[in-house]
Amino acid sequence: MCTAILPSASAVFNLPRSRSPQNCRFTVSSDVHLAFSNGTSPLLTFRRLPSPLSINQTIRCSRRGDEINGALPVTSTESSEDRRIGEVKRVTKETNVHVMLNLDGSGIADCITGIPFLDHMLDQIASHGILDIFVRASGDIHIDDHHTNEDIALAIGTALLQALGDRKGINRFGHFAAPLDEAAVEVILDLSGRPHLSCDLQIPTERVGTYDTQLVEHFFQSLANTSGMTLHIQQRAGKNSHHIIEATFKAFARALRQALDYDIRRCGTIPSSKGVLSRS
C-alpha cells in the first residue's frame, strides 16, 4: 500500500509509474489534485469533503482531459485516536468555559462567549485557520471581560495542546502578515512546546465597542502559556483599533494554519533535531 497525507488545497502528489489509484490509500482533508505519472497522466480532481473521511468511504472524481467519470475508493488511515481534536472544560468561581477544537476542520465557528467582539475574533481564527471551534462561556462580565477573555484563551490553548499530540509530521513553524485596509500585522509562531509571547501592538483606543483593547495581548499570552507556543506579534501599520486587532487575529490564524499543516517530506517524524517537542 502507498499511503500519503495531502495537507492543503494546492497539494500535488506524484505517484511512481508502477502505482495506480486503485491500490493507493489517501487521507483527504481538502480539495486535492493528484497527478499520476503512469503514461496517460490523468489529473484527478476531488471536491471538498468533510474531514475526516469515514472508513471505506467512496468519493466521485473526474479525470481532466478525457472527461471520464469514475469512483475512487478512499480509505482514511486515521483511527479515532489519531484525529486532531481537543476538548476542554474549565470551571472556576469566575467562569465556566467549554471549548472543542478540530484542527482538521473546515472553518466552522460556533462561539458564544458573552463578549461579542471576542466572538467575532474567534470567527477569524476558525475561518482563516480552517479550524472548527466551539466555545460556550459564561463569566463575571458584570465586573468586566478580563476573567472570561483569559479563561477562554487558556482553554483554547489547552485544547490545542491536546489536539496536537506528539506533533509528528507537522510544519511546526508559521509566518504570516495580514493587511486590513490601513492596518498590517505580522505573526511568527513556533509550536515548540516552549511558551513565550512578544507582542508589539499600538492600539490607539481603550475600547472597541465594549471590548477592552488591553485584553488582546492578554488573550494571546494566555493561549501561548497553555499551548506551549512561541508567539511573536508585530504591528507594521495601522490607525483604526478594530482593523489592527482583526488583522492580528487573521495573521495569527494563517500562521497557525501553516504550522499545523503536514510536511510530506518529513514522513510523519517529529519536527525537531532533538526528536521530541515538549515544555522542557
Q: How confident is the model at residue 215 (pLDDT cuts 50, 70, 90)?
A: very high
> CB 6: neighbour CB atoms within 10 A?
21
pLDDT the model gives residue 85 = 95
Check whether 65 has a pLDDT greater than 90: no
pLDDT the model gives residue 15 = 38
Q: Kindly state the cell numbers that stand for 103.
A: 484542527
pLDDT tens figures, 37-51: 444 433 443 333 334
Q: Kindly state the cell numbers that stand for 6.
A: 495531502
DSSP H or E run through 245: helix 241-260
Q: What percentage of the chain has pLDDT greater than the value 70?
A: 67
pLDDT the model gives residue 81 = 55
Check whether 16 has a pLDDT greater than 50: no
The DSSP bridge partners found for residue 36 are 15
Q: Strand 32-36 and strand 12-15: pairing?
A: parallel
Say what the alpha-carbon torsion angle 146, 148, 152, 153 is, to the nearest 10 degrees: 0
Q: Taking the complete model, does pTM exceed 0.85, yes or no?
A: no
The DSSP bridge partners found for residue 138 are 96
Average pLDDT over residues 185-191: 97
Query: What is the residue whose three cell numbers read 508559521?
Result: 174
Q: How confident is the model at residue 63 (pLDDT cuts 50, 70, 90)?
A: very low
Check whether 245 has a pLDDT greater than 90: yes
Q: Which of 268, 264, 191, 256 minimizes the C-alpha distance to 227?
A: 191
Q: How far apart are the first and last CA of the chain?
A: 37
pLDDT the model gives residue 166 = 86
Name the 3-class secondary structure at 18: coil
Q: Which bin fits 204, alpha (ψ -120 to 50), beta or left (φ > 0)?
A: alpha
Burial 159-174 (b: 16+ CB within 10 A, else e): bbbbbbeebebbbbbb
pLDDT the model gives residue 268 = 79
Average pLDDT over residues 150-172: 94
Check whether 11 has a pLDDT greater than 80: no
> CB 96: neighbour CB atoms within 10 A?
15
Check whether 183 has a pLDDT greater than 90: yes
pLDDT the model gives residue 51 = 40
Average pLDDT over residues 188-199: 96
Q: How confident is the model at residue 272 (pLDDT cuts 50, 70, 90)?
A: low
* Rounded-to-integer distance, Cα 193 and Cα 2, Å: 32
* Rounded-to-integer distance, Cα 55 and Cα 43, Å: 24
